[in-house]
């Protein structure tokens, strides 16, 4: 039992634990962000869509030269690996909570931030997919695999990549802010982005996406991953103070 207690203490020390979280929720702000997130998430579900008519296999010559360099037929195993990877990376942002794991307000704030970032990322990607209606790379090889009849035209942009980079950006942003002096900053960022890049690679190699699909997905996910935590940063009290008195005023500075 003593060994486990010592390990927990070491973890809290390494992550500068027991401090107040740098993030907090704001009722007015989160009502607006939350409403926008839900609206973006639900909107594409209300748009009636149907797969375009697919009479024959697509012609590779129709693909731009940049994407032609990395086109692959469908690979089911790599497709599944991409699914597993994105689910695993989605839980990593919880590392930023290690120092405040017992703080209910911090838990609520992180849960709210991540939900907003996820809903915005997922909804935005679905809207883009519906608007673009781009065939996936595997349709240029052996046609449409079994079970993909309703999804083959949603290549642009990559949702897996977007969620992966949203999670990596969210974790990096919050971890660096919560633990600015931690020696784990670079390793945490490196691992999260390597995993996100691995997910992107699996989506290309499995024949599900073109290179431009994953680049667009990475950009969209990164924006939300960094933006949402930024909007929840706790406001710091001004170091410079000014107070009027009967004989004039007093200026103070807090170190």
CATH number of the domain bearing residue 220: 1.20.144
- DSSP states along 34-90: HHHHHHHHHHHHHS---PPP--SPPPGGGS-HHHHTT-----HHHHHHHHHHHHHHH
pLDDT score recorded for residue 173:
95
Over residues 212-228, the mean pLDDT reads: 97
The answer to whether residue 155 sits within a structural domain is: yes
pTM: 0.83
Radius of gyration of the chain (CA): 23
Q: How many domains would you assign to the chain?
A: 1
pLDDT tens-digit readout, 102-144: 889 999 999 999 999 999 999 999 999 999 999 999 999 888 8
The verdict on residue 109 lying in a domain is yes
Let me know: does 207 contact 76? Beta carbons within 8 Å: no
- For 158-175, how does the pLDDT look when each residue is reduced to its tens digit (9 = 90+)? 999 999 999 999 999 999
In a domain, 14, yes or no: no
Task: Determine the average pLDDT of the residues in 237-241.
Answer: 40
Report the pLDDT value the prediction gives residue 57, as an integer from 0 to 100. Answer: 63
1: in domain: no
Domain for residue 58, yes or no? Answer: no
223 pLDDT higher than 60 = yes
**CA separation for the pair 160, 204 (Å, rounded):** 11
Q: What is the extent of the structural domain holding 72?
A: 20-45+63-253
pLDDT at position 50 is 73
The whole-angstrom separation of Cα 12 and Cα 21 is: 13
The Cα 206–Cα 72 span in angstroms is 7
């Amino acid at each position: 039992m003593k060994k486990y207690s010592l390990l927990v203490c070491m973890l809290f020390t390494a992550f500068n634990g027991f401090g107040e979280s740098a993030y907090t929720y704001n009722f007015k702000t989160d009502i607006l962000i939350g409403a926008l997130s839900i609206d973006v998430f639900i909107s594409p579900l209300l748009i009636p869509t149907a797969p375009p008519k697919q009479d024959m296999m697509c012609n590779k010559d129709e693909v731009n030269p940049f994407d032609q360099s990395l086109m692959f037929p469908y690979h089911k195993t790599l497709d599944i690996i991409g699914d597993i990877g994105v689910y695993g990376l989605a839980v990593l942002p919880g590392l930023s909570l290690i120092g405040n794991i017992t703080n209910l307000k911090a838990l609520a704030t992180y849960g709210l931030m991540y939900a907003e970032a996820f809903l915005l990322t997922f909804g935005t990607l679905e809207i883009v997919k519906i608007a673009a209606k781009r065939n996936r790379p595997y349709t240029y090889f052996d046609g449409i695999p079994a079970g993909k009849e309703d999804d083959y035209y949603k290549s642009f942009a990559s949702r897996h990549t977007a969620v992966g980079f949203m999670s990596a950006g969210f974790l990096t942003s919050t971890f660096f802010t919560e633990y600015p002096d931690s020696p784990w900053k670079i390793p945490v960022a490196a691992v999260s982005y390597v995993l996100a890049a691995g997910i992107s690679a699996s989506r290309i190699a499995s024949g599900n996406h073109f290179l431009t699909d994953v680049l667009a997905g990475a950009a969209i996910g990164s924006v939300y991953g960094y933006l949402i935590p930024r909007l929840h940063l706790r406001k710091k009290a001004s170091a410079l103070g000014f107070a009027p008195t009967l004989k004039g005023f007093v200026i103070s500075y807090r170190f």
